[in-house]
Structure 1
Protein backbone atom coordinates (compact mmCIF):
# COMPACT_ATOMS: atom_id res chain seq x y z
CA UNK A 1 0.00 0.00 0.00
CA UNK A 2 2.74 2.44 0.82
CA UNK A 3 4.40 1.91 -2.55
CA UNK A 4 1.08 2.64 -4.25
CA UNK A 5 0.68 5.87 -2.32
CA UNK A 6 4.24 6.93 -3.12
CA UNK A 7 3.72 6.28 -6.82
CA UNK A 8 0.45 8.24 -6.72
CA UNK A 9 2.19 11.14 -5.01
CA UNK A 10 4.92 11.07 -7.66
CA UNK A 11 2.37 11.03 -10.48
CA UNK A 12 0.39 13.88 -8.93
CA UNK A 13 3.62 15.80 -8.31
CA UNK A 14 4.64 15.36 -11.95
CA UNK A 15 1.20 16.50 -13.11
CA UNK A 16 1.37 19.48 -10.76
CA UNK A 17 4.83 20.52 -12.01
CA UNK A 18 3.79 20.03 -15.64
CA UNK A 19 0.77 22.29 -15.04
CA UNK A 20 2.98 24.85 -13.31
CA UNK A 21 5.31 24.90 -16.32
CA UNK A 22 2.43 25.24 -18.79
CA UNK A 23 0.72 28.01 -16.81
CA UNK A 24 4.05 29.72 -16.13
CA UNK A 25 4.91 29.82 -19.82
CA UNK A 26 1.42 31.07 -20.63
CA UNK A 27 1.68 33.80 -18.00
CA UNK A 28 5.11 34.92 -19.27
CA UNK A 29 3.82 34.98 -22.86
CA UNK A 30 0.81 37.06 -21.82
CA UNK A 31 3.02 39.58 -19.97
CA UNK A 32 5.32 39.92 -23.00
CA UNK A 33 2.34 40.28 -25.35
CA UNK A 34 0.75 42.89 -23.08
CA UNK A 35 3.98 44.92 -23.06
CA UNK A 36 4.27 44.65 -26.86
CA UNK A 37 0.67 45.81 -27.31
CA UNK A 38 1.13 48.67 -24.83
CA UNK A 39 4.18 49.83 -26.79
CA UNK A 40 2.20 49.65 -30.02
CA UNK A 41 -0.65 51.62 -28.43
CA UNK A 42 1.79 54.31 -27.29
CA UNK A 43 3.34 54.48 -30.77
CA UNK A 44 -0.10 54.86 -32.33
CA UNK A 45 -1.09 57.54 -29.80
CA UNK A 46 2.09 59.47 -30.61
CA UNK A 47 1.35 59.17 -34.32
CA UNK A 48 -2.24 60.32 -33.74
CA UNK A 49 -1.01 63.36 -31.80
CA UNK A 50 1.38 64.24 -34.61
CA UNK A 51 -1.37 63.88 -37.22
CA UNK A 52 -3.74 65.97 -35.09
CA UNK A 53 -1.18 68.78 -34.94
CA UNK A 54 -0.67 68.55 -38.72
CA UNK A 55 -4.44 68.76 -39.22
CA UNK A 56 -4.61 71.82 -36.97
CA UNK A 57 -1.75 73.44 -38.87
CA UNK A 58 -3.40 72.63 -42.20
CA UNK A 59 -6.69 74.16 -41.01
CA UNK A 60 -4.84 77.30 -39.92
CA UNK A 61 -3.10 77.49 -43.30
CA UNK A 62 -6.41 76.96 -45.07
CA UNK A 63 -7.86 80.00 -43.30
CA UNK A 64 -4.87 82.07 -44.44
CA UNK A 65 -5.28 81.11 -48.11
CA UNK A 66 -7.75 83.87 -48.86
CA UNK A 67 -5.60 86.65 -47.40
CA UNK A 68 -3.75 89.01 -49.70
CA UNK A 69 -0.55 88.50 -47.75
CA UNK A 70 -0.64 84.75 -48.39
CA UNK A 71 -1.35 85.19 -52.09
CA UNK A 72 1.62 87.58 -52.43
CA UNK A 73 3.88 85.19 -50.52
CA UNK A 74 2.97 82.27 -52.78
CA UNK A 75 3.35 84.41 -55.90
CA UNK A 76 6.84 85.45 -54.79
CA UNK A 77 8.05 82.01 -53.66
CA UNK A 78 6.45 79.68 -56.15
CA UNK A 79 5.94 81.85 -59.23
CA UNK A 80 8.95 84.16 -58.73
CA UNK A 81 6.76 87.23 -59.25
CA UNK A 82 7.63 90.76 -58.09
CA UNK A 83 5.63 93.90 -57.55
CA UNK A 84 5.69 96.85 -60.00
CA UNK A 85 8.19 99.01 -58.13
CA UNK A 86 10.62 96.19 -57.19
CA UNK A 87 13.92 95.40 -58.88
CA UNK A 88 15.18 91.86 -59.25
CA UNK A 89 18.89 91.33 -58.74
CA UNK A 90 20.38 88.04 -59.84
CA UNK A 91 23.89 86.91 -59.02
CA UNK A 92 25.80 84.65 -61.30
CA UNK A 93 27.07 81.53 -59.54
CA UNK A 94 30.71 80.62 -60.05
CA UNK A 95 30.04 76.89 -59.57
Structure 2
Protein backbone atom coordinates (compact mmCIF):
# COMPACT_ATOMS: atom_id res chain seq x y z
CA UNK A 1 0.00 0.00 0.00
CA UNK A 2 1.38 3.40 -0.94
CA UNK A 3 1.00 6.56 1.14
CA UNK A 4 -1.33 8.01 -1.51
CA UNK A 5 -3.70 5.10 -0.98
CA UNK A 6 -4.16 6.27 2.62
CA UNK A 7 -5.46 9.69 1.50
CA UNK A 8 -9.17 9.90 0.70
CA UNK A 9 -10.38 12.68 -1.58
CA UNK A 10 -13.49 14.60 -0.48
CA UNK A 11 -15.32 17.80 -1.32
CA UNK A 12 -18.20 19.81 0.06
CA UNK A 13 -20.34 22.53 -1.43
CA UNK A 14 -23.29 24.59 -0.40
CA UNK A 15 -26.56 23.96 -2.21
CA UNK A 16 -29.31 26.45 -1.40
CA UNK A 17 -29.53 26.42 2.42
CA UNK A 18 -27.63 23.18 3.13
CA UNK A 19 -24.20 21.62 2.56
CA UNK A 20 -23.36 18.36 0.81
CA UNK A 21 -20.04 16.52 1.32
CA UNK A 22 -18.87 13.67 -0.89
CA UNK A 23 -16.16 11.06 -0.38
CA UNK A 24 -14.95 10.19 -3.88
CA UNK A 25 -12.94 7.11 -2.97
CA UNK A 26 -15.86 5.26 -1.36
CA UNK A 27 -18.81 7.01 -3.06
CA UNK A 28 -20.30 8.23 0.24
CA UNK A 29 -22.22 11.47 0.84
CA UNK A 30 -23.51 13.46 3.80
CA UNK A 31 -25.81 16.45 4.13
CA UNK A 32 -26.04 19.10 6.85
CA UNK A 33 -26.56 22.74 7.76
CA UNK A 34 -22.87 23.77 7.79
CA UNK A 35 -19.54 22.73 6.37
CA UNK A 36 -18.35 21.61 9.80
CA UNK A 37 -21.43 19.43 10.26
CA UNK A 38 -21.15 17.65 6.89
CA UNK A 39 -17.41 17.17 7.31
CA UNK A 40 -17.94 15.60 10.74
CA UNK A 41 -20.75 13.38 9.43
CA UNK A 42 -18.69 12.28 6.44
CA UNK A 43 -15.65 11.52 8.62
CA UNK A 44 -17.83 9.31 10.84
CA UNK A 45 -19.30 7.56 7.79
CA UNK A 46 -15.83 6.91 6.38
CA UNK A 47 -14.57 5.49 9.68
CA UNK A 48 -17.57 3.17 10.02
CA UNK A 49 -17.39 2.13 6.36
CA UNK A 50 -13.69 1.23 6.59
CA UNK A 51 -14.20 -0.59 9.91
CA UNK A 52 -17.06 -2.66 8.45
CA UNK A 53 -14.96 -3.50 5.38
CA UNK A 54 -11.82 -4.47 7.31
CA UNK A 55 -13.10 -5.92 10.57
CA UNK A 56 -16.88 -5.98 10.51
CA UNK A 57 -19.53 -8.09 8.89
CA UNK A 58 -18.55 -6.91 5.39
CA UNK A 59 -14.97 -8.21 5.69
CA UNK A 60 -15.45 -10.84 2.94
CA UNK A 61 -16.19 -7.99 0.51
CA UNK A 62 -13.35 -5.66 1.61
CA UNK A 63 -11.61 -5.57 -1.77
CA UNK A 64 -14.81 -4.52 -3.52
CA UNK A 65 -15.88 -2.01 -0.87
CA UNK A 66 -12.50 -0.30 -0.60
CA UNK A 67 -12.31 0.21 -4.35
CA UNK A 68 -15.84 1.57 -4.83
CA UNK A 69 -15.16 4.98 -6.39
CA UNK A 70 -17.63 7.74 -7.17
CA UNK A 71 -18.70 8.21 -10.79
CA UNK A 72 -16.63 10.33 -13.16
CA UNK A 73 -19.07 13.24 -12.85
CA UNK A 74 -18.31 13.53 -9.12
CA UNK A 75 -14.55 13.46 -9.76
CA UNK A 76 -14.96 16.19 -12.38
CA UNK A 77 -16.96 18.22 -9.87
CA UNK A 78 -14.13 17.79 -7.31
CA UNK A 79 -11.50 19.08 -9.74
CA UNK A 80 -13.76 21.91 -10.90
CA UNK A 81 -14.27 23.08 -7.30
CA UNK A 82 -10.54 22.74 -6.67
CA UNK A 83 -9.82 24.89 -9.74
CA UNK A 84 -12.42 27.48 -8.71
CA UNK A 85 -10.94 27.71 -5.24
CA UNK A 86 -7.43 28.11 -6.64
CA UNK A 87 -8.28 30.70 -9.30
CA UNK A 88 -11.31 32.54 -7.97
CA UNK A 89 -11.51 31.71 -4.26
CA UNK A 90 -14.92 30.28 -5.09
CA UNK A 91 -17.43 28.59 -2.85
CA UNK A 92 -17.05 24.95 -1.91
CA UNK A 93 -14.34 23.12 -0.04
CA UNK A 94 -11.95 20.39 -1.05
CA UNK A 95 -10.40 18.32 1.71
CA UNK A 96 -8.44 15.12 2.09
CA UNK A 97 -9.06 12.63 4.85
CA UNK A 98 -6.63 10.06 6.13
CA UNK A 99 -7.82 6.50 5.85
CA UNK A 100 -8.89 5.31 9.30
CA UNK A 101 -6.70 2.35 10.13
CA UNK A 102 -7.67 -0.49 12.40
CA UNK A 103 -4.99 -2.02 14.64
CA UNK A 104 -4.01 -5.54 13.58
- TM more than 0.5: no
Report which of the two has the higher share of strand: 2
Which of the five TM-score ranges fits, normalised by the shorter chain? under 0.3
Give the TM-score of the pair, scaled to structure 2: 0.24
Q: Which of the two has higher C-alpha Rg?
A: 1
